[in-house]
Amino acid sequence: MLLNEGKDSFLEEEVSFDNSKYVILPIPLDITTSYLKGTKFGPRSIIEASRSLENYDSELDYEVKDKIFTLNELNLSGDIREAMEVINLSVSDILSSGKIPIIIGGEHTATYGASLSFDDSVEFIIFDAHADFKKDYLGLVINHASNSRLVNARHNISLIGVRSLNLEEKEEIGKRGIDIIYRNDISDVSSVDKLLKKLSGKNVYISVDMDVFDPAIAPGVGTPQPDGIQYRDFLDYIKKIINVSNLVGLDIMEVRPLGADNITEVLAAKLIIDMVSLKESKVNSNRS
């Protein structure tokens, strides 16, 4: 088993691995990053930022406690293919222990590695400014700009918040009939309804590239894009998605710490608390 027990935990949770329901897997992947390097420091910074946040959600009246175990960072010393294999093995270990993986990164390519661990019936919902549907990029087939396309080799995907792609990517996405909600249509009711209908009752994995958000609220990313979505836009989506489906895994990727300005990693940590709270308060209300 490649898993190590972690000392520095998310939200300062003290729960043991066996008693936890969610397992944070920090993946400091920074191999194919093309524009701004530094995503390898993302996982550590998200865990540090979580310690500045409260674990109680007043909107849901739910407290995250004794739920989340934090693993040590994965050691990724090989090339990108080896990294995918290590990630796949680690996520598979978490799943076979009956836990829900929460992956924090690190470049977005880690989502592809994680996707290999899931049954191909799992739907992947990818929030990203970029379509990431390139056939290859800078000579590499496995790279961050091809992540969505790679995941789509095994899984149905839906792309949300996209505002950066080329014509070839757009045509390939159209050819494959992939559901894509562009940033301009983020509030379009019929698009959202269609998505929810598709996800109803399904096992769902949510992947968040932090560059889907506006750079004003998430400046610390590898490839920033102007005119991103707001935190409330995201909350509206995940409330609806988690409500109709069964969340089996999630990731928060592409955090690139800026040093003194830590608002990106605080937002990243908050998203994890939000998604766990939404899933758990749903479980609780189903029981009562």
**Which residue positions form the known binding site for Mn(2+)?**
108, 128, 130, 132, 209, 211
Q: Which range touches Mn ion (CB under 5 A), out of 4-12, 41-49, 111-119, 202-210?
A: 202-210
Name which of residues 208 to 247 contact Mn ion (CB under 5 A): 209, 211
Q: Which is nearer to Mn ion, 129 or 199 (CB)?
A: 129
Q: Least Å distance between CB 123 and Mn ion?
A: 19
> CA 199 to CA 66: how far, in whole Å?
29
CB of 165 or CB of 276, closer to Mn ion: 165
262 three-class SS: coil
Phi then psi for residue 83, to 5 deg, are -60, -40
**Closest CB to Mn ion among 3 and 263?**
263
Among 130, 155, 163, 256, binds Mn ion (CB under 5 A): 130
> Which of 241, 137, 134 has the alpha carbon at shortest distance from 181?
241
Name which of residues 110 to 129 contact Mn ion (CB under 5 A): 128-129
The answer to whether 24 touches 3, Cβ cutoff 8 Å, is no
CA angle, corner 191, sides to 187 and 193, nearest 5? Answer: 100
251 binds Mn ion (CB under 5 A): no
- 99 versus 134: smaller Cβ distance to Mn ion: 134
Length of the chain: 288
Strands, E assignment, the chain: 22-27, 56-57, 62-63, 68-70, 100-105, 123-127, 157-162, 179-182, 203-209, 246-253
Quote the least distance from Cβ 133 to Mn ion, whole Å. Answer: 11
| Positions in the binding site for Mn ion (CB under 5 A) | 128-130, 209, 211
